[in-house]
Amino acid sequence: MSTTIDPPGQTPARTRRALPPLMQLTEGAAERLRRLYEAGGEGRLLRIGVKTKGCSGLSYDLTWVDGPQKGDESVTDKGVTVLVDSKASLFLIGTVMDYEQKAMSAGFTFTNPNEKGRCGCGESFHV
């Protein structure tokens, strides 16, 4: 076992922990986006943001765009690219996007480690 001793008067170098990815996609979300991209025409991308809305304060906002806007982050996972609004980045770090189909509904869902709570209907959240 070896140890490194820092010279007197110097503070030890800190090791930075790697940040989690901005967003990840499940296989279900990636497959659904592939189908939507194929049906929606070439060059259109899904842009994910957050808006002030609902009883808990924030809501996910999904829009179709022709290309990135100034400051957008591009996230590619499982061969699929989505854009993230720069204003939403801090709210979304580490979020996993999924696509769920239920008996009466279907849609994208988000598992966000930054959420501190959600409203009763699940439409909005707060961090």
Report, in angstroms and rounded to the nearest whole number, the Rg of the chain calculated over CA atoms: 19
Read off the pLDDT band of 113 (50, 70, 90).
Answer: confident
Interval 73-82 mean pLDDT: 94
Q: Is the pLDDT of residue 54 over 70?
A: no
Q: Where residue 79 falls among pLDDT bands split at 50, 70, 90?
A: very high
Tokens of 22: 């901005």
Confidence at residue 23, expressed as pLDDT on a 0 to 100 scale: 92
Residue 72 has pLDDT above 80, yes or no: yes
- Identity of residue 50: V
Residue 8, token pair as written in the block: 């007197």
Write out the CATH class of domain 23-126: mainly beta
Where is pLDDT greater, at 126 or 117?
A: 117
Lowest-confidence range among 3-7, 65-69, 90-94, 112-116? Answer: 3-7
Token representation of residue 61: 């906002």
* Token digits of residue 76: 């590619």
- Phi-psi region for residue 41, left (φ > 0), alpha (ψ -120 to 50) or beta? left
Helix-strand-coil split of the chain, %, nearest 5: 15, 35, 45
How many other CB atoms are found less than 10 A from the CB of residue 11? 6
pLDDT number for residue 31: 96
Residue 98 has pLDDT above 90, yes or no: yes
Instruction: Say what the pLDDT of residue 118 is.
Output: 67
Dihedral of alpha carbons 86, 92, 98, 101, sign: negative
